[in-house]
Amino acid sequence: MPMPDAMPIEEVQSTYEKLVAQVRTAVLLTLKQGHPFGSHVPYLIEDDWSRVYLHLSRLALHTQQMLVDPRVSLFIAEPDAAGKNPSALQRLNLQGTGAILSPSHESYDRVKQRYLRQFPQSQMLFGFGDFAIWELRMSDAHLVLGFGQAYLAQSAKPREWQHQKPETKP
């Protein structure tokens, strides 16, 4: 079966935007003693994927792990359902590092207000001393939009999706 041609970049970007608008939670992968550790988290993503914000408790294992090693991955996937091909579900895998966003940072209030609009039920958590907004600075993205439709991007040019073609042997 021949591989499908790459989608136009505008269509890739539009499909990416629909995916992150539709899916409000992701799997945050941190490192626990050198091994991946996954946690289900609500997220807020900037206009491009290079910045993601999480509101996390210091008591959570994933937060404790990020304090030791800030390297993270965030995995966002289209929900599965009967009749869907699980191998063709749309998904986004981001890699980067996380750090606490200081309340004195110029973007803190804007991020907090956006987060509360997205997740109004989290209002009371902002009053708890162990919660903080974390900024994930993503460097790389891997976007799968279906069979043969995988794309890579770098944070320096987050909207320039490059079609990932399978390696061919000579």
User: pLDDT category, 4, cuts 50, 70, 90?
Assistant: confident
Model confidence at 11: pLDDT above 90: yes
Domain 9-163 has CATH 2.30.110.10: yes
pLDDT the model gives residue 148: 86
- Give the CA distances from residue 11 to residues 16, 87, 99, 149, 161, in Å, rounded to whole numbers and listed in that order: 8, 21, 32, 11, 10
pLDDT the model gives residue 167: 61
pLDDT the model gives residue 170: 55
> 91 is written with which tokens?
């998904």
Q: Measure the CA–CA gap between 139 and 152, rounded to whole angstroms.
A: 11
* Annotated domain spans of the chain: 9-163
User: pLDDT category, 5, cuts 50, 70, 90?
Assistant: confident
Burial of 153 (0-12, 13-18, 19+ CB in 10 A): buried
Mean pLDDT of the chain: 94
Of 114, 137, 140, 129, nearest in space to 42 by CA: 114
